[in-house]
Amino acid sequence: MSEKNKLSIICMSGDFDKAIAVFTLASGAAAVNYEVNLFFTFWGLDILKNKRGRRFIGKGILARFFNFLLGGRSNLPLSRLNFAGLSPLLMTGLMKSRNVATLTELYDAAVALGVNFYACEMAMHVLGLERADFVPEVKDVLGVATFLELSKGGQTLFI
Amino acid sequence: MSEKNKLSIICMSGDFDKAIAVFTLASGAAAVNYEVNLFFTFWGLDILKNKRGRRFIGKGILARFFNFLLGGRSNLPLSRLNFAGLSPLLMTGLMKSRNVATLTELYDAAVALGVNFYACEMAMHVLGLERADFVPEVKDVLGVATFLELSKGGQTLFI
Amino acid sequence: MSEKNKLSIICMSGDFDKAIAVFTLASGAAAVNYEVNLFFTFWGLDILKNKRGRRFIGKGILARFFNFLLGGRSNLPLSRLNFAGLSPLLMTGLMKSRNVATLTELYDAAVALGVNFYACEMAMHVLGLERADFVPEVKDVLGVATFLELSKGGQTLFI
């Protein structure tokens, strides 16, 4: 009768290495049958954009400017030693050479294992983003209160 | 008879966007009747200073130097794309144009909703700061053990 | 019959100030009789290397390059205002002048108080690091699933 174990992560960072951490934790937990809830907000929303490259999207000039600079999932920087985007490429090469799952593979694994993806309503509003700007895997658009309700009784991380 | 839901956040970051996240979570949780405990430490203490601009405060030359560089609540940088402080201004403009609460409004909402503010004893000591350097909303000055006791049984985040 | 209180921290950051936070929380919790589990991954592994200076270690040229740049426990940068490594030295000076425990002292306290140190299997693999590259205090090399199991029922933070 015990409830299912639960892991919830507020994914605010758009850094490459932190995204790797999010998806490693998410797929690792889902693989041992945890309910996993990922709540993407601010820079983290970048990971969910359906266009992976740099694009001027969003409503309003300032929002378009921020969204372009962020750049989408293919342009996530390392939080340290980024070297203008070279290091994430090197790191991906390193992961491939080790037969470790890359970000794209970890993402696909998370989807296959039933990890729940949520997008933060307020951050979408600030950045002028709409549901249509995101990958179809996004289950819902939520506010803070709903996310807290969903994550109650489990382990919750902020990354 | 169930206990009140509880959200506790260790606020170490002095970044503008992370402060937005802290106060959005705090006011969102308090609005649905959570007990909310914010424990400010290191750079996070900057948010609580009663003087919002750059000031040489604190005991000792090194402490004064760090406190000046930090700059107070009006000078919080973005964790990414900061552009020497321009981006937080743009982001605030963007939030205002969207009718989303700004940092000051979120802060005021948190106070109005009864969010508890605590300052970290050790970090204050290192930075040479005293109770009088902070806003009056600070409920108490705590150490780690007391904070852990306060936050037990709820969700705890490190931001 | 109540279970022991538990604090678990995923230590991904290799920043000096965040390492201070990890060890302050860990030793503070252990001092009031918590079970404390620290799970070091990615940049955080730097803190556990037995050679504290910059060294070309790890298997493969790319791994050696990253490990050299990271630099070991003596070269952890501040997450803000780092000034090419000067600030961590100043901060340590400041902590000493205040009679606050430095990183090395906090580390030693954590060991003395029985804090558990774990290293992340996957990150070690990516960075080409082996058990022999770490301090002997590392209790075990774990994957995500085992860490989640260990940390269940307590408070878990990501730093």
ipTM, 2 dp: 0.87
**What is the pLDDT of chain C when averaged over all its residues?**
86
| pLDDT-derived band at B120, boundaries 50, 70, 90 | very high
Contact B152 C157 (CB under 8 A): no
Is residue C128 in a domain?
Answer: no
Q: How many domains does chain C have?
A: 1
More confident residue, B101 or C157: C157
Contacts of C126 in chain A (CB under 8 A): 91, 94-95, 98, 100
User: What pLDDT score was predicted for residue C56?
Assistant: 67
Chain A residues in contact with chain B using a Cβ-Cβ cutoff of 8 Å = 10, 12, 14, 41-43, 60, 62-63, 65-66, 69-70, 77, 122, 125-128, 143-145, 148-149, 151-152, 156-158
Minimum CA–CA partner of C5 in chain B: B152
Q: How many C-beta atoms surround the C-beta of residue C157 within 10 A?
A: 22
Q: Which domain does A65 fall in, by range?
A: 6-120
Minimum CA–CA partner of A69 in chain B: B81
User: What pLDDT score was predicted for residue A1?
Assistant: 39
Contacts of A24 in chain C (CB under 8 A): 122, 144
Contacts of C69 in chain A (CB under 8 A): 81
Identify which of A11, A28, A14 has the alpha carbon closest to the alpha carbon of residue A117. Answer: A11
Residues (pLDDT < 50) of chain A are 1
Residues paired with residue C52 on neighbouring β-strands, in sequence order: none
Strands (E), chain B: 6-11, 35-40, 116-120, 138-142, 155-158
* Amino acid type, A120: C
B64 close to B58: Cβ distance less than 8 angstroms? yes
The half-sphere exposure of B128 on its side-chain side, counting CA atoms within 13 A, is 19
Is residue A69 in a domain?
Answer: yes
Contacts of A10 in chain B (CB under 8 A): 21, 25, 157
Contact C158 A157 (CB under 8 A): yes
What is the pTM for the complete model shown? 0.89
The string of DSSP codes covering B20-46 is HHHHHHHHHHHHTT-EEEEEE-GGGGG
| pLDDT-derived band at C44, boundaries 50, 70, 90 | very high
Q: CA of C132, closest CA in chain A: separation in Å?
A: 19
In degrees and rounded to multiples of 5, residue B38 shows phi and psi of -110, 125
Identify which of A18, A41, A15, A38 has the alpha carbon closest to the alpha carbon of residue A27. Answer: A38
User: What pLDDT score was predicted for residue B84?
Assistant: 58
H or E element that contains A145: helix A144-151
- List strands edge to edge, sheet with C155-158: C138-142, C116-120, C35-40, C6-11, C155-158
Is residue B139 in a domain?
Answer: no
A45 close to A119: Cβ distance less than 8 angstroms? yes
- Calculate mean pLDDT across residues B89-117: 86
Identify which of C117, C10, C122, C124 has the alpha carbon closest to the alpha carbon of residue C57. Answer: C124
Residue where the block lists tokens 């007391």: B146
User: What pLDDT score was predicted for residue C112?
Assistant: 96
Contact A94 C60 (CB under 8 A): yes
For residues B42-78, b (16+ Cβ closer than 10 Å) or e, as one string? bbbbbbbbeebeebebbeeebbbbbbeebbbbebbbb
Chain B residues in contact with chain A using a Cβ-Cβ cutoff of 8 Å = 5, 7, 9, 17-18, 20-21, 24-25, 28-29, 31-32, 34, 79-81, 90-91, 93-95, 97-98, 100, 155-159
* Integer Rg of chain C from CA: 16
Is residue A128 in a domain?
Answer: no
CA distances from A122 to A128, B76, B100 (A): 10, 20, 8
> Which of helix, strand or coil describes residue B79?
coil
Q: CA of C17, closest CA in chain B: separation in Å?
A: 8
Q: Domain with B24 in it: what CATH number?
A: 3.40.1260.10
Residue B82, both tokens: 């900061």
Question: Exposed (0-12), middle (13-18) or buried (19+): which is A122, by Cβ within 10 Å?
Answer: buried
pLDDT in tens, B127-142: 889 999 999 999 999 9
- Calculate mean pLDDT across residues C123-127: 90
Q: CA of A152, closest CA in chain C: separation in Å?
A: 13
Pick among A2, A78, A79 to test the C interface (most C CBs inside 10 A): A79
Residue C71 makes CB contacts below 8 A (sequence gap 6+) with C46, C53, C54
The packing angle between helices C144-151 and A16-31, to 10°, is 70
Is residue A61 in a domain?
Answer: yes
Identify which of C66, B15, C78 has the alpha carbon closest to the alpha carbon of residue A88. Answer: C66
User: What pLDDT score was predicted for residue C85?
Assistant: 67
Q: CA of A15, closest CA in chain C: separation in Å?
A: 12
Pick among C10, C32, C38, C80 to test the B interface (most B CBs inside 10 A): C80
Rounded to whole angstroms, the Cα distance separating C64 from C129 reads 9
Contact C155 B156 (CB under 8 A): yes
Is residue B126 in a domain?
Answer: no
* Amino acid type, A79: S
Identify which of A128, A135, A138, A121 has the alpha carbon closest to the alpha carbon of residue A56. Answer: A128
Q: CA of C60, closest CA in chain B: separation in Å?
A: 31
Is residue B138 in a domain?
Answer: no
> Which of helix, strand or coil describes residue A4?
coil
Percent helix, strand, coil in chain C (nearest 5)?
Answer: 50, 20, 35
Residue of B62, B77, B149 with shortest CB distance to C94 = B62
CA distances from A123 to A70, A118, C147 (A): 14, 12, 31
* Amino acid type, B92: T
Residue B97 in this model has a pLDDT that exceeds 70: yes
| pLDDT-derived band at C1, boundaries 50, 70, 90 | very low
| pLDDT-derived band at B68, boundaries 50, 70, 90 | low
Rounded to whole angstroms, the Cα distance separating C67 from C129 reads 9
Residue of C42, C69, C144 with shortest CB distance to A29 = C144
User: What pLDDT score was predicted for residue C86?
Assistant: 64
Contact C21 B14 (CB under 8 A): no
> Which of helix, strand or coil describes residue A7?
strand
Minimum CA–CA partner of C88 in chain B: B66
> Which of helix, strand or coil describes residue A72?
coil
pLDDT in tens, C62-105: 676 667 666 667 777 777 666 656 667 777 877 887 777 888 89
* Amino acid type, C4: K
Neighbours of chain C (3+ CB pairs under 8 A): A, B
Is residue A156 in a domain?
Answer: no
